[in-house]
Amino acid sequence: MPFPAPSTSSTAAAARSKSMLSLLSLLFLVFSLAIYPASWVFAHYYVGNKTACFSDVCNHVKANKFSSIRKNLALFYSFLALTAVLALAAKYITSIRRFAAIRPLRKSTVNLGEIIWFTLAMFTVVFAVPATNWAAFYSIKEPQAAKGKWQWIHVIFEVLAWLSGDAASVILGLAFLPATKYSAVNDALGLPYSSTARVHGWLGFGALWVVLSHVTTGLLDEQWDSPGFLTLLFVPVQDEEGNSPWGDENYLFVFGNWAVISLIVVVLTSLKVVRRNAYNVFYLAHFLVILVVLFSYFHSSMSIFFAIPGE
């Protein structure tokens, strides 16, 4: 028995529903894309604003950090813009898409597009960010280097701690970018989930190494002034009266330490052996990223500027 033909009214309702869904999808995509330039504008003009800072170290209100933070923001968002251009080129230009899809490793699905993007990302983090700010940071501490024979080593460690902190903020911002299976931005750019998920994992491990270098140089810098410097990881600095007022760099290492511990747990539970044998552990541990962002912000205000687009 033949099925009855759908009525004209039901067909029109289905068409309206589909049109409304398409409109909502388009609006959501526009909103998702607008977050990126809006975040840059907000962060750029928020630098120097002394209100609404809840960090122990409000870097963005220190005059000697204005330029470096804005340079880092320019590098970060320029790299995101370059990513979008390259992704769209691969999406619409066949020759570029085929080149990016080449798999240089015989027994791996890793392609050239992923390798090139990750290489550019690490170059930006490890070389471009430090190179942009090295001269400015060193000039601040150069007079101190002339005070003693070995004082310049102290200055080098301190400058490296600053630079690695900037690099850590940038790579964590990249790692926080959407890597989910259903992402309006990634779909619009033609980025497959397999690639975004894989690169997200690489960025996570890269972020851990950059963060550990920040911790190491920070502790090497601090040991010049504090013989018991390792206690700073768990106990806030106290003044002569035994107090530890907030906002005076007394909790710098404590919250930095807890951010690192949270990140270590997230990264270690992301190992393939954990994902395959205890997926729920991997899934639930990823919620610790919230603590990574929160503790990083309490540690230093500038870290939140690079996390905004991914949050």
Q: What is the pLDDT of residues 166-215, one digit of tens each?
A: 899 999 999 988 777 777 788 888 889 999 999 999 999 999 999 999 98
| C-beta neighbour count of 292 within 10 angstroms | 25
**What pLDDT sits at residue 244?**
80
- Backbone φ and ψ for 308, nearest 5 degrees, come out as -55, -50
* For range 148-164, the mean pLDDT: 77
Gyration radius of the chain over CA positions: 24
**What pLDDT sits at residue 291?**
93
Dihedral sign (CA 169, 36, 45, 307):
negative
Estimate to the nearest angstrom the gap between the alpha carbon of 100 and the chain centroid.
Answer: 24
The residue that leads in pLDDT, 204 or 49, is: 204
pLDDT interval class at 235 (50, 70, 90): confident
Estimate to the nearest angstrom the gap between the alpha carbon of 146 and the chain centroid.
Answer: 36
pTM score of the predicted model:
0.83
